């Protein structure tokens, strides 16, 4: 799995961080999400899929490899 993130679409809701805190974080200055691990391991796939599903800005795209 590879995580693609469209930063301009991010509305800084933080849902991704709550769903997958080892893969996503937020910048302190504006709350916009950042990807910590663009190729998370299989043990993190469920949380990453949940993060993509709950993202209100539809900023997260997953590429299954």
DSSP 8-state class, residue 46: H
Q: Where are the beta strands (DSSP E) in the chain?
A: 2-5, 24-26, 33-35, 60-63
pLDDT given for residue 65 in this prediction? 81
Residue range 22-44: average pLDDT?
98
Domain ranges of the chain: 2-63
Q: Both tokens of residue 37?
A: 């691990």
Distance (Å) of CA 4 to CA 26, 36, 52: 16, 11, 10
Residue 32 pLDDT > 90: yes
Residue 42 pLDDT > 90: yes
Question: What pTM, to 2 d.p., does this model score?
Answer: 0.95
Residue 34 pLDDT > 90: yes
| Pair 4, 33: CB distance under 8 Å | no
Bridge partners (DSSP) of residue 22 are none
The CATH fold assigned to 2-63 is: Alpha-Beta Plaits (3.30.70)
């Amino acid at each position: 799995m590879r995580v693609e993130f469209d930063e301009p679409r991010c509305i800084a809701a933080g849902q991704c961080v709550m769903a997958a805190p080892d893969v996503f974080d937020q910048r302190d200055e504006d709350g916009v999400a950042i990807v910590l691990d663009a190729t998370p391991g299989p043990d993190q796939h469920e949380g990453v899929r949940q993060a993509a599903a709950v993202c209100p800005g539809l900023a997260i795209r997953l590429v299954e490899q």
